[in-house]
Amino acid sequence: MSRAELRIESLAAGGDGVAHLPDGRVVFVPFTAPGDLVRVRLVDTRARFARGRVEELLEAGPARALPACPAFGSCGGCTWQHVDYAAQLEAKRRILCDAIRRIGGLDEPQVGPVMPSPSEYAYRGRTRVRVEGGRVGYLRRRSHALCAVSRCPVLVPELDQRLRELAAHPPQREGEWELASGSGEVRATPLGAPGAARIRLEVGDRRIGVSSGVFAQSNALMLDALASRVGEAAGCGELAVELYAGAGLLTVGLAERFDRVVAVEGDLTAVGDLRANLAEAGLDGVEVLAESVERALGGLAGCSPDLLLLDPPRSGLARGSADALAAVGA
């Protein structure tokens, strides 16, 4: 069978639409939305699943939306602009529940609705673009080739404007550039450029300084909501242990709620930001461990904190560290 007519049922973690072949095998189809009826060419068929490519959209489902970006589909940056925002949020909730069930082995995960961004577009406060051959852009989907862009509608307006200027006058220095915005300022620098000013993120009435190359949450409109929600869920107590603390977006709130906080961060530039942010906020109850989580966990065994908070990178907790994590005794 090389072609099939399929009704898309849901969205998978990687972004593809999911349907089933008559023989029960799962089919992953990029750029489809729940409810779509599509004719697909099966480009990769395996014993337990297949991948398809849309040849024709026979019937648009109720979750289909019009992408705002002309580069959508060829640019590797976004995968869901063709999906209605409410359906995106529900898909994220379901994907998380599935992961907790499948990987965590919990039968009935209690996951509430995903908190929506105040804006579906114009929300990203940071991005990385490539400067190459006098052009500026992102990588093409599943490719190392450049997809030149001069606008990016997911960026906050001031960053979108900076991208437009950069594309109009591409810099001599090629490679990866980081664009970041903070309280009233925009920074566009080659990634990790020494001496680049810290961007100051507004988080409620606090400011969190973040250096070039250091992680910052991408949705600039949700920083306060995220930090507040984590703070509320964390409660109060004597000791909190925070792993993967970054520049301290969550650490500062924890330091106000717990007598003592141990914060672990492996990136030394981020550690510098974290220490500076704590000092500026006048918070001295935080012990910063500038080392990898894998290494720090050994020394934290049995410390029985009231709270153990993890915000790891996409790769998650390092393989083999689960036992050491449990031994912390939270």
The reply on whether position 270 binds ligand SAM by CB under 6 A is: yes
Does the footprint of ligand SAM cover residue 224 (CB under 6 A)? no
Give the residue with the Cβ less far from ligand SAM, 62 or 192: 192
Token pair for 163: 């991208």
Element (H, E) at 179: strand 175-182
132 binds ligand SAM (CB under 6 A): no
* Cα 65 to the center of its chain, rounded Å: 22
User: Does 265 sit near ligand SAM (CB under 6 A)?
Assistant: yes
Positions 51 through 70 that interact with ligand SAM (CB under 6 A):
none
User: To 10 degrees, the CA torsion angle through 70, 75, 79, 82?
Assistant: 20
Tokens coding 155: 């960026």
Using CB under 6 A as the binding rule, whether residue 249 contacts ligand SAM is answered as yes
Residue from 42, 155, 293, 324 in contact with ligand SAM (CB under 6 A): 293
* Binding piece for ligand SAM, criterion CB under 6 A, among 69-77, 101-109, 156-164, 290-298: 290-298
Among 116, 313, 316, 329, binds ligand SAM (CB under 6 A): 313
Residue 270 near residue 246, CB atoms below 8 Å? yes
Handedness of CA 204, 206, 211, 213 (dihedral sign): negative
Rounded to the nearest 5°, which phi and psi values hold at 150?
Answer: -120, -10
Asked if 6 contacts 52 with a C-beta cutoff of 8 angstroms, the reply is yes
Q: Cβ closer to ligand SAM: 62 or 312?
A: 312
Q: Position 171: which residue type?
A: P
As given in the structure block, the two tokens for residue 218 are: 């991408």
Return the residue of 180, 199, 241, 250 that touches ligand SAM, per CB under 6 A: 250
Give min distance, CB of 293 to ligand SAM, in A: 4
CA distance 52 to 119: 32
Query: Is residue 211 close enough to count as binding ligand SAM by CB under 6 A?
Result: no
- Could you tell me the smallest distance in angstroms from the CB atom of residue 270 to ligand SAM? 5
Contacts with ligand SAM by CB under 6 A lie at: 215-217, 244-247, 249-250, 264-267, 270, 292-294, 311-313, 318
